[in-house]
Amino acid sequence: MSNLYVLIAYLLGSIPTSVWIGKVFYNIDVREFGSGNAGATNTFRVLGKKAGIPVLIIDILKGSLAVSLSFLSTYEINSNAFINLQLALGIAALIGHIFPIFAGFRGGKGVATILGVVFCILPVACSLSLLVFLFVLLISRIVSLSSMIAGLSFPIILNLVLHNQNRVLIIFSIVVSALLIITHRKNIKRLLKKEESKVKLFSGSSK
């Protein structure tokens, strides 16, 4: 039964929200514009807030719903088996988002989906990491930089600040952090060249 839940989680993650919304409502494949990424950030960049907001919300929900499948299992809540299943479901959803079967295996970086996964499993650590994201975003106005710094802060917050002792969660937090860096390789190159685009906050101008 667990294998079935993992498959369902992958299929949930594979829902290519930005691609479908772009094609249905705008006759545009967002992967052909901007950063070429099928994620919420590029949707905001290419199609604007009306498309970006629902994409962001749905992509977060994909991760949370996938992890929530764990509550249908017979495992005792908060047991090691239960936590392991949650992590497996979250990883399956993330893989689905990055390599969606419904969109030719060309997906997004998975930041929003990771947020949904982590918030469902570790809400306190996730909320604190989100505050780091917002703080860096207010200062830099660069979403990719904010995402990476928040991702790097996640294992620090979970394991050092909140004193997590679960080895599986320690490994998970490090993997999540590393994955965010790996999927942002192109962004890192643009940051080093000072070519990364900035978002418009409040009345400020975008670049």
- Hey, what are 131's tokens? 């505050």
Helix (H, G, I), strand (E, B) or coil at 186: helix
As to burial, measured by CB atoms within 10 angstroms (0-12 exposed, 13-18 middle, 19+ buried), residue 10 is buried
Contacts of 106 by beta carbon, 8 Å cutoff, 6+ apart: 31, 38, 99, 100
What type of residue is 18? S
Q: Along the 207 residues of the chain, how does pLDDT read in single tens digits? A: 789 999 999 999 999 999 999 999 999 999 999 888 899 989 998 999 999 999 999 999 999 999 999 999 999 998 989 999 999 999 999 999 999 999 999 999 888 999 999 999 999 999 999 999 999 999 998 988 999 999 999 999 999 999 999 999 999 999 889 988 888 888 899 999 988 888 777 654 444
Cα–Cα dist 20/54, whole Å: 12
pLDDT of res. 204 = 47
Closest CA to 112 of 80, 72, 70, 150: 150
pTM for this structure? Answer: 0.83
Distances (CA, A) of 144 to 26, 44, 112, 138, 189: 25, 13, 12, 13, 11
Helix (H, G, I), strand (E, B) or coil at 178: helix
